[in-house]
Amino acid sequence: MNDDQIDYELARQIQMVLVLHFLEGMRQSEIATRLNLSTSKVNRLIAQGRRMGMVQIHISSPWQRLTDLEQRIVAVSSLKSAVVCPTLSEKPDTLLGEVGRAAATLLLENLRDGDVLAITGGKAISAVVEKLAPERALDVTVVPLTGGVQGKYYTDVNHLVSRMAEKLGGRAMLVHAPLLAENPTQREMLCGMHPVKEVFDLARGADVVVAGIGSIAPKGSSYYDLAPLSEAEGQMLVNLGIAAEFMAYLIGRSGSVADFAQNARLVAVHPSELATCRQVIGVATGLHKIDPIRAVLRGGFIDTLVIDERTVETIITTLEGERHVA
């Protein structure tokens, strides 16, 4: 007998089984006892009810708007996925903590034993490390994507690599070299040293990357912790079309790595070298990060973005507007 030609008695029996199972939460064995049926018969009736379209599951979430925003930012960018957390506070530190928590959860969902995890330094990654709470130790290796910065202990990449490895239960491998060489020749020499090259080679082939997205606006930007530039020089960068800092590299508004002398001195993995990584997660929050995030998205450097609701709404609006204009 076809499902469309099913008789009323069988339809009524299927409905009864579906109500008991899905609405009243009874196990199939309990339904079998109650209706004097075999467990296999109950299983067949449930399967038949599904085929007939009698079972429709609707999940209602109080955070559905965040899921909608995640889908919209993926649709207007090169991202494969996004995690949007609610903007519950106007305080930057509180907001950064919430985004850090979301990124930490995402990281733990995606890490596997045997993975290599590569990270940058910075406030956002520090927040991720702070919020990490794995249920078990993970057999992972954590490595830096850049050289270190003296005098910035809590946001320095080597410190964060050590802290993250400790929290995850893995091991850390550090780069004992400065972020900025004195000139490109010294940079080549440092990157060619075996201890540095070994770590950077691991970073290039990392399974998972977690990187902050930095602003280069002169006031309040942590980029100037990395680079000894004056406020006037910083404003000059903005005027020249530099929009972001990613992995310590200056990124133009178009998403390309800027042809800027300081980039040639960086002791760091180049953003283009992350193309083979399984997942590259960018973490950022705050309206001052809108232009930097847009630049990094245009460059296609990340495939997953963790961000707050208010910031992503503005980015979506601008990116959707650009699509309409195009």
169 in any annotated domain: yes
> Is the same domain home to 22 and 121?
no
> Is the same domain home to 98 and 47?
no
pLDDT tier at 309, thresholds 50, 70, 90: very high
pTM, 2 dp = 0.81
pLDDT at 121 over 60: yes
pLDDT at 281 over 90: yes
120 in any annotated domain: yes
> Is the same domain home to 296 and 153?
yes
> Is the same domain home to 186 and 245?
yes
Residue with tokens 């130790």: 137
> Is the same domain home to 14 and 112?
no
57 in any annotated domain: no
> Is the same domain home to 14 and 129?
no
For residues 284 and 213, the answer to whether their CB atoms sit within 8 Å is yes
Structural domain count of the chain: 2
> Is the same domain home to 139 and 210?
yes
> Is the same domain home to 125 and 14?
no
CA 262 to chain centre: 27
**Consecutive H or E run containing 146:** none
CA 35 to chain centre: 50
The per-residue pLDDT of the chain, averaged, comes to: 90
Give per-residue pLDDT as tens, 188-201: 999 999 999 999 99
238 in any annotated domain: yes
Give per-residue pLDDT as tens, 122-146: 999 999 999 999 999 999 999 999 9
110 in any annotated domain: yes
DSSP code of 258?
A: P
> Is the same domain home to 47 and 196?
no
For residues 74 and 81, the answer to whether their CB atoms sit within 8 Å is yes
> Is the same domain home to 45 and 69?
no
pLDDT tier at 2, thresholds 50, 70, 90: very low
Q: Measured between alpha carbons, how far is 161 from 159 in angstroms, rounded to an integer?
A: 5
DSSP-assigned letters across all residues of 201-221: HHHHT-SEEEEEEE---TTT-
pLDDT at 234 over 80: no
Question: In the prediction, which pLDDT does 6 show?
Answer: 55
Q: What tokens appear for 113 in the block?
A: 């034993």
DSSP code of 289?
A: G
Domain that holds residue 27: 3-51
248: left (phi over 0), alpha (psi -120 to 50) or beta: left
pLDDT tier at 159, thresholds 50, 70, 90: very high
Give per-residue pLDDT as tens, 35-94: 888 999 999 999 999 998 898 877 777 788 999 999 999 999 999 999 999 988 889 899
58 in any annotated domain: no
Q: Measured between alpha carbons, how far is 251 from 298 in angstroms, rounded to an integer?
A: 10
Question: In the prediction, which pLDDT does 1 show?
Answer: 42
56 in any annotated domain: no
Picking from 1-5, 17-21, 106-110, which range would have the lowest pLDDT averaged per residue?
Answer: 1-5
In this structure, the dihedral spanned by the alpha carbons of residues 110, 114, 116 and 121, taken in order and rounded to 10 degrees, is 70
20: domain CATH number is: 1.10.10.10
